[in-house]
Amino acid sequence: MRIAIVSLGCPKNAVDAEKMGALLRRAGHRLVDDPSRADCVIVNTCGFIQPAREESLATLRELAASVRRGGLLVAAGCLSQLEGERLLQEVPELDGLLGTLRWHEAPQFLEALRKQKGLVWLGAPEVWAEDEPGPGAPKAPAPT
């Protein structure tokens, strides 16, 4: 699969994007610079300050309008972790959300995304108390 990674925000995001790219290359994917040539576009979002959040959202909207027909659009990084529900509401074209601490699972995430029809959300790792889901994590079902 041809993958474009768009990294926004802080230097940590750039490092995470480079490491994610290396893992994806090792898994047999090809990285491309031009999102219009990609089968999958991953936007490594920033949610630190309001202007960064706005830039991330604007970039996702712009790419949603231009992703190749049949292509995949993924929001990764801290904005997807912090405000996943909001991103899904504002950018319904998203195919997946990959939380901040889960970038190292990108190859498995993309494999699941290719196989599954519909949204794949890999949010916060299981570090939160059961009754307090992490930011952006899907709510656990109520006990029966």
Domain of 41, CATH number, reads 3.40.50.12160
Q: Output the pLDDT for position 124.
A: 54
d(CA 88, CA 42): 15
Structural domain includes residue 139: no
Structural domain includes residue 133: no
Structural domain includes residue 134: no
List pLDDT tens digits, range 75-122.
999 999 888 889 999 999 999 999 888 888 999 999 988 887 677 777
Q: Output the pLDDT for position 116.
A: 78
List pLDDT tens digits, range 24-38.
999 999 999 999 999
Q: Output the pLDDT for position 126.
A: 43
Structural domain includes residue 53: yes
- Cβ neighbours for 32, distance < 8 A, ≥ 6 positions apart: 2, 3, 4, 38
d(CA 135, CA 117): 25
Structural domain for 6, as ranges: 2-122
- Residue 65: pLDDT above 80? yes
d(CA 55, CA 101): 21
- Residue 44: pLDDT above 80? yes
Q: Output the pLDDT for position 66.
A: 86
Structural domain includes residue 136: no
Q: What are phi and psi of 50, to 5 degrees?
A: -55, -45
Structural domain includes residue 109: yes
Q: pTM of this prediction?
A: 0.82
Structural domain includes residue 74: yes
- Residue 136: pLDDT above 80? no
| Average pLDDT for 122-138 | 45
